[in-house]
Structure 1
Amino acid sequence: MVRYVVIGGGIVGLATAHRITIDQPDATVVVLEKEPRVAAHQTGHNSGVIHAGVYYKPGSLKAGMCRAGQASMLEFCAEHGIDARVTGKLIVATDAAELPRLRALHERSVANGLPVDLIDGDQAREYEPHVAAVAALHVASTGIVDYAEVCRVLADLVTKGGGEVRLGARVTGLRRDGATTVVETTGGAFVADRLVNCAGLHADRIARLAGLTPSARIIPFRGEYYELRADRRDLVRGLIYPVPDPQFPFLGVHLTRMVDGSVHAGPNAVLALAREGYGWGRVKPRDIVDEVAWPGLWRLARRHWAYGLTEVRRSLSRKRFAASLARLVPGITTADIVRSGAGVRAQAIAADGALVDDFLIEQAPGQVHVLNAPSPAATSSLEIAKHIVARFDE
């Protein structure tokens, strides 16, 4: 009987545990989550989008898993009564200078086999009457869902499948014992024949505890959200995104109508002062030391300091945030938006300063470590889970 220990009760960890219970019903599976609930961090703080796979390099893990994940996530939600909707979205060019990038995105989408249409401004306003666009990419297969609800269902399925989800169990140490790994936690010790590290914001630290030298380090970027006041939600029907800058993995401040009818705006991307730094007041010296000690951060900063400064200014000014939204929907004013929380993205950065663009999964005997799984990891989670389980059989 194979003993699996999965570290992390976010969507990738829970999807992996669920996959194990399906594929290997005789195995034992324990999910260790340090928080008192599942989906407490990245999964529970994202914008709830089921991505189609527009942005990702053809042939990459992200491209393949996102497209497959869009279908498998919708199928999973339908099977388990979770409210998920295919709404489509617009990626809009607000001036002629953005048209080459929009066309390049269209070409990439076609290469990824996606149902997309390059449309003019008038056609864009048939979907979103208040949008400012000289042209747009309509992505029909994009959807929305509450990923925290998906996690609650996954956790229940893990338990029903004979597994266990241990909450409040923070990992304090890892050590090899022959062919097994002993996982020491605040809730006791667990022996793993196969260890899966899905610790998100702390994934690189868990890998180092296990004796690995990860090829990248997690640097936390906070993404802050506003939402439209209830009486202004009519300005947005679905999802409206800007044309992204291909130098960065961030998609830019955008507008998303959620499953509950609210319209969220954001996120931006500012360097956080703690791995769980959901506000400027959250500062953790150990995390800051981790950041500044990594040469990749300094190399990134030297290349892109102007971008970072713009994001900080937008973070500190509601007026600037509203102005970014008004580029997409001119009717939005500062008075129309209110604060609506934040999330922290676990972004892996290589030593040379490169932002790791694809999912990064590294392996050691009896161990798989997920070291970079930002968006579209939630969309792709059921496919990432299959990939992780298969890695043990290679």
Structure 2
Amino acid sequence: MPTETRFAIVGAGIVGLAIALEITRQFPAASVMVLEKESSVASHQTSHNSGVVHSGIYYKPGSLKAQLCVEGAQALLQFCEHNEVPHEICGKLIVATAENELPRLEELFRRGQSNGLKGLKILTGSELREIEPNAAGIRGIHVPGTAIVDYLKVAEKYADLIVSRGGVVRVSQEVIGLKRSNGLTILETTGGEIAAKTVINCAGLQSERVVRMTNSKRDLAIVPFRGEYYQLSREKEYLVKGLIYPVPDPQFPFLGVHFTKRIGGAVEAGPNAVLALKLEGYSKRSFNIRDIAEYASFPGFWKMAAKHWRMSVGEYHRSWSKKAFVQALQRLLPELQADDLVVGGSGVRAQALDRDGKLVDDFHISFTEGMVHVRNVPSPAATASLSIAKYIVDSIVRQIG
């Protein structure tokens, strides 16, 4: 007989864990089980990101990203304060280094104001160097509320609280099949069958594989983009006080190479954004033919490739050429030299792509019978995890009951 639970969540990343935590808050008597194929929680996107608690300045007013990021950042910082998770409000500069970037900088400022951010300020070149003495730039935006945190520690605290409230977190248990039977969803896993009234798919990079287990129409594909980082050498960490970002290109859901102070004092530089040849491919030589075949067989992939191939060439060039990577970073920090950087880590972003070849910009969540599919929650998902969780659980109440 299958093990029974009211709620089953596929994926123990920060969003899946936040949803389980919210369920224990709203429905303390309901059983909830989180299933994770890896041997520990938060093994992929959660523990491979930059650790920034985003403010919400980048996102289109009225979008889910804007609403949930602003709400989620405040909720996350309160959570960290209450649960003694190390964090720091260090602020961020978004820096324009050329005249043609100024209209985009001004648009970001308007977005931030529309999204309800407090304390935003447009800075002149000399004013921004009062905050970051070594930064280049002719104008900038100071975002004082931006913070940093260790998201792995946040996720682990979520998991601890879930278990303390009677929930179950099972690692090393992969979901390999789904079927509906008598109003329940039967999850076939490597640890046996589980029957759940409601299943929430938070599988991240693997989320579309879970969607296809339900025989749903393939209207989206997950395309993995690897971001590679360098770190400033210990001797050069003084060059960066907080966070220094460029003005992003609105055509892409990436923020450009930047400098990020980490909890503990290290400073990361990057990332670039290159197509990964494996869903969980953290190295340049990671390769999986099944993963490639899945996204390359999706009609939208080739439309995207035709439109953005020039950008891709530049990103790959920076991936293999430290000199090119350094040149990109020198736009923000002219003093930087190649010897000031050491190889850092990498992460892989699960980016949804539609059939028209468009990179899905906003969060995307869909419902099928007895299931919720969290299909596109890239950055700022970690920042917004608690507000995403409340949004989804509230949606379940409205749509499923």
TM range (shorter): over 0.9
Q: Deviations over 1:226-249 (max 9, x none)?
A: 100000000000000000000000
Show the 5 A alignment for 1:116-135. 116-135=120-139
Structure 1 position 51 matched with structure 2 position 54? yes
Is 1:107–2:110 an aligned residue pair?
Answer: yes
My pick for the range that moved more, 175-184 or 228-237, is 175-184
Aligned length: 394
* TM-score calculated relative to the size of structure 2: 0.97
Q: Aligned-pair distance for 1:365?
A: 2.1
In the alignment, which residue of structure 1 is the partner of 2:312? 308
Once the two structures are TM-superposed, the CA of residue 213 in structure 1 deviates from its matched residue by: 2.3
Partner of residue 169, structure 2? 165
Equivalent residue, structure 2, for 1:201: 205
Does residue 267 (structure 1) correspond to residue 282 (structure 2)? The answer is: no
Is 1:66 paired with 2:97? no
Question: Are the aligned partners of 1:35 and 1:169 in contact in 2 as well (CA < 8 Å)?
Answer: yes
Question: RMSD in angstroms over aligned alpha carbons?
Answer: 1.0
- Work out the CA distance in 1 between the residues paired with 2:5 and 2:369: 14
Structure 2 unmatched ranges of 5 or more: none
**Could you tell me which residue of structure 1 aligns to residue 330 of structure 2?**
326
Output the amino acid matched with 2:107: A
Superposed, 1:127-276 pairs within 5 Å as 127-276=131-280
CA distance in 2, matches of 1:391, 1:208: 22
Name the CA distance, whole Å, in 1 between partners of 2:156 and 2:218: 30
Whole-angstrom CA distance in 2 between matches of 1:312 and 1:27: 48
AA of the residue aligned to 1:171: V
- Show the counterpart of 1:4: 7
Where 2:383 maps in the other structure, the secondary structure is helix
* Counterpart Cα distance in 2 of 1:50 and 1:288: 32
Q: What is the match of residue 380 of structure 1?
A: 384
Q: Which runs of 5+ in 1 are unaligned?
A: none
Q: Distance in 2 between matches of 1:203 and 1:356?
A: 15
Helix, strand or coil at the partner of 1:379:
coil
Q: Secondary structure at the match of 2:248?
A: coil
SS at match of 2:230: strand
2:79 to 58, 64, 76: 76
User: For 2:393 and 2:217, how far apart are their aligned partners in 1?
Assistant: 22
Q: Partners in 2 of 1:331 and 1:206 — Cα distance?
A: 47
Q: Secondary structure at the match of 2:250?
A: coil
Per-residue deviation, residues 168-192 of structure 1 (Å, max 9, x unmatched): 0011111111211011111111111
The whole-number CA distance in structure 2 between the counterparts of 1:223 and 1:357 is 18
Distance, in Å, in 1 between the alignment partners of 2:218 and 2:382 is 23
> Which whole-Å deviations, capped at 9, do the CAs of 1:5-26 have from their partners, x for residues lacking one?
0000100000000111111111
Matched-pair contact (CA < 8 Å) for 1:120–1:136: yes
Query: 15, 22, 33: which is aligned to 1:30?
Result: 33
TM-score (norm 1): 0.99
Aligned to 2:360: 356
Name the SS for the 1:392 alignment partner. helix
State the shift of 1:211 in Å.
Answer: 2.7
